Amino acid sequence: MAEVYTNLKKTVLTLIEEKSFQRLRDILITMPPADIAALFSELSEKSLPLVFRLLPKDLAAETFVEMDSDLQHHLIQGFSDAELQAVVNELYVDDAAALIEEMPANVVKRILRQADPETRRQINEILKYPEDSAGSIMTTEFVSLRAHMTVADAIKRIRQLGVDSETINACYVTDDGRRLIGVVSIRTLILANENDRIEKIMNRYVVSVRTTEDQETVAKMFAKYDLTVLPVVDGEGRLVGIVTVDDAIDVLQEETTEDFEKMAAITPTDRPYLKTSVLEIWKSRIPWLLVLMISATFTGLIISHFEDALKTYVLLTAYIPMLMDTGGNSGSQASVTVIRGLSLNELEFRDLFRIVWKEFQVAILAGATLAAINFVKLMFFDQVTLLVAFVICLTLFLTVCVAKLTGCIFPMLAQKAGFDPVVMASPFITTIVDALSLLIYFRIATMILGI
């Protein structure tokens, strides 16, 4: 695929240089919108508006949605009012709302000014919902049916409204008060007798979400129930919109990226790495680095406190990095496993004691294995005394145990306290375990070696 894309890119660039726009258009209309958007990201700012204007109206709108916000902004600045109006009115409402959230205020005013009154009303309706909620990612363009309709009436309505709807695979049934009462698939409608009533063939059990539900929870429901579309209702059970599977995938990708950034002690950002300035990257990283640097001073205080002991047994200093790194790695393994379980709703706070017991057993096995192998190394390769080897191996064993328990408990406590458990991942766990491993090391050395 990479080779095909490279050859295609060369062909497009050649056609642009030769001004063979009809041949270029013939190629573009055969490509998926996502691939066209990726190709456009490789074009110069001068060529982009010219090539974009070659696309048919519907394909142009679909491609525009797939482009990143910087390219969208660049195109909008070059659009005439008529061109902007054509693109905006071809967008689905949720895509138009997402576009507005990414644009500067002056561009937003221009977009809304070019949208037709009904589209503008629907966009404003979506924008009033909390950020990262089901209401903020739903679309209001869907087909609803009534229970008293016949199959023939329903199909006629779908033909009338379906062209402007994001999907018709599932059509939701509402009562006179717009309350959600059922769902019927397009497959069921086509295979049913045209005189059957919708109430006879619809499924009355409908999985739905409230407008205020968190978008990550919404996205996970798609995987849990094998859905392609999910209805969104208000506090009174009235159908106000739908979320489609493509939006759910975008949410999962966004949330996963955010979790990775938090686990690496980076403030999350929506911009791609290569599109992010050095100053923005610095701003996202430095607060966490400052916090971790200050917290890491505790390890320095511990070492300073036992400075006399280290002077007596200088050899002990050589094994501090190994003990701290092993403890940090052990804690990270436990924390990442628990955090992932929490994010997938596989674990709850009530499972805390079961988790602790399981991690404790794992810690015993892992700690004993590492201590035994390390003991052999210390005695036969490093040739330290028996007591020193015993101190190091006992510390290693206890450090692994403490690290794994810390790694599994802290994310659970963080979630219970209302914090994102992801922030208790690698950096914080490592800092905490480093301090604990040093305390254990020096206490054991003091007791056994008498220093």
- 3-state SS string for 214-273: EHHHHHHHHHHHCCCEEEEECCCCEEEEEEEHHHHHHHHHHHHHHHHHHHCCCCCCCCCH
Q: Report whether pLDDT(292) > 70.
A: no
Q: Are residues 118 and 151 in the same domain?
A: no
Domain-terminating residue out of 89, 118, 137: 137
- The CATH number linked to 287 is 1.10.357.20
Query: Would you mind telling me the total number of residues written for the chain in this entry?
Result: 451
- State residue 266's pLDDT score: 61
In a domain, residue 432? The reply is: yes
Q: Are residues 226 and 356 in the same domain?
A: no
- The CATH number linked to 210 is 3.10.580.10
Q: What is the pTM of this model?
A: 0.65
Q: Are residues 129 and 205 in the same domain?
A: no
In a domain, residue 43? The reply is: yes
pLDDT (average), residues 83-92: 81
Q: Report whether pLDDT(139) > 80.
A: yes
- State residue 427's pLDDT score: 66
Q: Are residues 288 and 306 in the same domain?
A: yes
Q: Report whether pLDDT(4) > 80.
A: no
- State residue 414's pLDDT score: 83
**298-357 residue pLDDT tens:** 776 776 776 666 666 677 888 888 888 898 888 888 888 888 888 777 888 889 999 999
CB burial of 418-434 (b: ≥16 within 10 Å; e: otherwise) equals eebbbbbbbbbbbbbbb
- pLDDT: is 104 or 413 the higher one? 413
Separation of alpha carbons 215 and 133, rounded Å: 5
pLDDT (average), residues 50-67: 87
The answer for residues whose C-beta is within 8 angstroms of residue 448's C-beta and 6 or more apart is 387, 390, 391, 394
H helices present in 313-425, as ranges = 320-343, 352-377, 386-416
- State residue 40's pLDDT score: 85
| Average pLDDT value for the chain | 84
Number of continuous H segments (helices) and E segments (strands) in the chain: 22, 6
Q: Are residues 319 and 396 in the same domain?
A: yes
CA atoms within 13 A on the CB side of 397: 17
Q: Which residues pair with 144 in a beta bridge?
A: 172
- The CATH number linked to 88 is 1.25.60.10
| CA–CA distances in Å: residue 231 to residues 77, 207, 268, 425, 439 | 36, 7, 29, 34, 55
In a domain, residue 174? The reply is: yes
Q: Report whether pLDDT(10) > 70.
A: yes
Q: Which H or E element spans position 319?
A: none
Q: Report whether pLDDT(243) > 90.
A: yes
Question: Pick from 275, 416, 295: which is nearest to 350 by CA?
Answer: 416
Q: Are residues 233 and 312 in the same domain?
A: no
Longest dimension (CA), the chain: 95
Separation of alpha carbons 116 and 305, rounded Å: 71
In a domain, residue 267? The reply is: no
The answer for residues whose C-beta is within 8 angstroms of residue 37's C-beta and 6 or more apart is 63, 66, 67, 71
Domain-terminating residue out of 223, 258, 293: 258
Q: Report whether pLDDT(1) > 80.
A: no
Query: In the chain, how many domains are there?
Result: 3
Inter-helix orientation angle 352-377/386-416, to 10° = 160
Separation of alpha carbons 292 and 203, rounded Å: 54
In a domain, residue 425? The reply is: yes
* CB neighbourhood size of 66 (10 A): 18
Q: At 242, is the pLDDT very low, low, confident or very high (cuts 50, 70, 90)? A: very high
- pLDDT: is 143 or 295 the higher one? 143
Question: Pick from 281, 407, 397: which is nearest to 356 by CA?
Answer: 407
Computed on alpha carbons and rounded to an integer, the radius of gyration of the chain in Å comes to 30
| CA–CA distances in Å: residue 74 to residues 12, 48, 54 | 20, 9, 17
Question: Pick from 271, 218, 90: which is nearest to 166 by CA?
Answer: 90
Q: Are residues 252 and 285 in the same domain?
A: no
CA atoms within 13 A on the CB side of 156: 8
pLDDT (average), residues 144-161: 93
pLDDT (average), residues 420-432: 70
Instruction: Please give the residue range of the domain that contains residue 199.
Output: 144-258
In a domain, residue 51? The reply is: yes
- State residue 49's pLDDT score: 85
The single residue listed with the structure tokens 């450090």 is 399
Question: Pick from 403, 386, 399: which is nearest to 438 by CA?
Answer: 399
Inter-helix orientation angle 105-114/69-78, to 10° = 60
pLDDT (average), residues 169-181: 93
Tokens of 276: 């992010």
Q: At 280, is the pLDDT very low, low, confident or very high (cuts 50, 70, 90)? A: confident
Q: Which residues pair with 242 in a beta bridge?
A: 139, 231
Q: Are residues 297 and 442 in the same domain?
A: yes
Separation of alpha carbons 138 and 228, rounded Å: 13
- State residue 439's pLDDT score: 86
Separation of alpha carbons 66 and 45, rounded Å: 17
Q: Which H or E element spans position 210?
A: strand 209-210
Q: Report whether pLDDT(21) > 80.
A: yes
Q: Report whether pLDDT(423) > 80.
A: no
Q: In what order do the strands lie in the sheet with 144-146?
A: 144-146, 170-174, 180-185
Q: Report whether pLDDT(269) > 70.
A: no
Q: Are residues 219 and 332 in the same domain?
A: no
Domain-terminating residue out of 122, 137, 152: 137
For the chain, what percent of residues have pLDDT higher than 90?
Answer: 27
The single residue listed with the structure tokens 């709302």 is 97
**186-226 residue pLDDT tens:** 999 999 999 999 999 999 999 999 999 999 889 989 988 88
**Three-point CA angle 157, 159, 58, nearest 5°:** 130
Separation of alpha carbons 271 and 260, rounded Å: 14
- pLDDT: is 414 or 361 the higher one? 361
H helices present in 103-138, as ranges = 105-114, 117-127, 134-137
- State residue 424's pLDDT score: 60
Q: Are residues 53 and 167 in the same domain?
A: no
Cα first-last separation, the chain: 65
Q: Are residues 246 and 278 in the same domain?
A: no
In a domain, residue 153? The reply is: yes
- State residue 332's pLDDT score: 83
Q: Are residues 305 and 194 in the same domain?
A: no
In a domain, residue 225? The reply is: yes
Q: Report whether pLDDT(426) > 80.
A: no
Pairing of strands 170-174, 144-146: parallel
